[in-house]
Amino acid sequence: MTIYRKMFKIKTIGSSKEGNLKPEIVEKMPAGINLVVHEYNEAAGWAIVELYCSDHPLLDSKYRKTMADLEKLKNDLSIIESVASHPNSPAILATFHIKTELATAIDETAKTLTVKGVTAKFVRKTNDPRRQIIIDEG
């Protein structure tokens, strides 16, 4: 269970004036791959975007992705170049969580939970009033 991350400089479409400025790749994103925009340069027509995904076994198979899935996107025509880092990129970009009531078994000592017959590790429980469990973060 890992959150995979990859950063790119990507062409943009739309405009902030019209309220529809976005990275061009948004139109083609496969299910399970998410993004965070760290910087826009509207005049130059690009954005620094961090794409991320997880391969956690508790995610539905259509949402489970790996670094190979992120690497495939570098061939998209909207990608200008790969970017090594950006000052706005946080240490923890995303968390994937599940509601406690969806688990049929939770072993807090081993930090495992079972959902729909699948047993997997979790990172931690939260104090969230909805009693959620963080299954992956990074």
Instruction: Tell me the pTM.
Output: 0.86
Q: Give the structural domain span for 112.
A: 95-137
Mean of the pLDDT values across residues 10-15?
96
pLDDT in tens, 16-48: 999 999 999 998 899 999 999 999 999 999 999
Q: What share of the chain is helix, strand, coil (3-state, %, to 5)?
A: 10, 45, 45
Cα 72 vs. chain centroid, distance in angstroms? 16
Cα gap 37→49, rounded to integer Å: 4
Closest to 52 (Cα-Cα) out of 110, 1, 9, 5? 5
Question: Quick one: 78 and 102 in the same domain?
Answer: no
On whether residue 130 sits in a domain, the answer given is yes
Residues in the chain: 138
**Token pair in block for residue 129:** 């009033």
Q: Which residues pair with 7 in a beta bridge?
A: 50
Contact present, 5 and 136 (Cβ < 8 Å): no
Question: Quick one: 44 and 16 in the same domain?
Answer: yes
What phi and psi values does residue 75 have, to the nearest 5 degrees? -85, -5
Question: Quick one: 73 and 120 in the same domain?
Answer: no
On whether residue 24 sits in a domain, the answer given is yes
pLDDT in tens, 96-135: 888 888 888 888 899 998 988 889 888 888 887 666 888 8
Question: Quick one: 67 and 104 in the same domain?
Answer: no
Cα gap 117→78, rounded to integer Å: 40
Contact present, 36 and 92 (Cβ < 8 Å): no
Mean of the pLDDT values across residues 84-89?
90
On whether residue 50 sits in a domain, the answer given is yes
Where among 43, 61, 82 does a domain terminate? 82
Lowest mean pLDDT among 63-67, 75-79, 86-90: 86-90
Number of domains in the chain: 2
